[in-house]
Amino acid sequence: AQSVAQPEDQVNVAEGNPLTVKCTYSVSGNPYLFWYVQYPNRGLQFLLKYITGDNLVKGSYGFEAEFNKSQTSFHLKKPSALVSDSALYFCAVRDRTGRRALTFGSGTRLQVQP
């Protein structure tokens, strides 16, 4: 079985400050990991993914995420938050075997205050 936990329903951060959105996962073996963002009344947009290689993955809009195998985490980060980053963020995981599709977390709402 595979699962994803996003422990925070909402994260509040001031514009210009660094932000972190947390994600932990559970899979059999090594994972594929993804982050998506959803703006109001829109579908999900792909931000970044970890497949293999460097544990630090860089994605769209200045976001990055660090794969930590020992802590089974894949936290999303950005050095300096923008008000326009305010949105709903989803972490997703898939194991490398079988034919299961992605499992998504419940989402974390990021609110960046001016």
Partner 1 sequence: ETGVTQTPRHLVMGMTNKKSLKCEQHLGHNAMYWYKQSAKKPLELMFVYSLEERVENNSVPSRFSPECPNSSHLFLHLHTLQPEDSALYLCASSRGTSGEQETQYFGPGTRLLVL
Residues forming the site for partner 1 (CB under 8 A): 32, 34, 36, 41-46, 49, 51, 90, 94, 96, 99-107
Q: How far is the CB of 92 from partner 1 (least distance, A)?
A: 8
Q: How distant, in Å, are the alpha carbons of 1, 24, 25, 34, 67 from that of 70?
A: 19, 11, 11, 18, 9
- Residue nearer to partner 1 on the CB measure, 34 or 63: 34
Neighbours of 113 (CB within 10 A): 11
Q: How far is the CB of 42 from partner 1 (least distance, A)?
A: 6
Q: Which residue's structure tokens are 């938050």? A: 81
- Residue nearer to partner 1 on the CB measure, 65 or 107: 107
Q: How far is the CB of 44 from partner 1 (least distance, A)?
A: 4
- Residue nearer to partner 1 on the CB measure, 107 or 112: 107
Q: Which helix (H) or strand (E) holds 26?
A: strand 24-26
